[in-house]
């Protein structure tokens, strides 16, 4: 396999997670990133088979879930009793 060297910028949290995943799998970071890209390709290929209506409903409901006022979201989380 021909390898191409690339420089990427990651925030400290993502960099730590990448190193952690690589250590868990006994792989180097490049192998973990290659696997992640393959999974992304697979997910995107699967998304092509979603009907336009389903995609529209998903997009709308996703946007609506994010569109609650902060005070409502805060009250909901506080009602769970976790700190």
Q: Where are the domains of the chain?
A: 10-49, 51-83
Q: What is the DSSP letter of 75?
A: H
CA–CA separation, 66 and 81 (whole Å): 22
Higher pLDDT, 1 or 15: 15
Pull the structure tokens for residue 18. Answer: 């990448």
Higher pLDDT, 7 or 66: 7
Q: pLDDT value at position 14?
A: 93
Q: pLDDT value at position 49?
A: 64
pLDDT in tens, 32-68: 999 998 888 777 666 666 667 766 766 666 556 666 6
Pull the structure tokens for residue 40. Answer: 């992304």
Q: pLDDT value at position 63?
A: 59
Residue corresponding to tokens 């180097």: 28
């Amino acid at each position: 396999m021909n390898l191409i060297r690339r420089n990427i910028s990651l925030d400290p949290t993502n960099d730590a997670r990448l190193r952690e995943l690589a250590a868990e799998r006994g792989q180097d970071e490049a192998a973990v990133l290659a696997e992640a890209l393959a999974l992304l390709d697979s997910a995107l290929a699967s998304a092509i088979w979603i009907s336009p209506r389903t995609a529209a409903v998903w997009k709308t409901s996703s946007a609506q879930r994010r569109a609650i006022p902060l005070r409502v979201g805060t009250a909901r989380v506080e009602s769970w009793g976790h700190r």
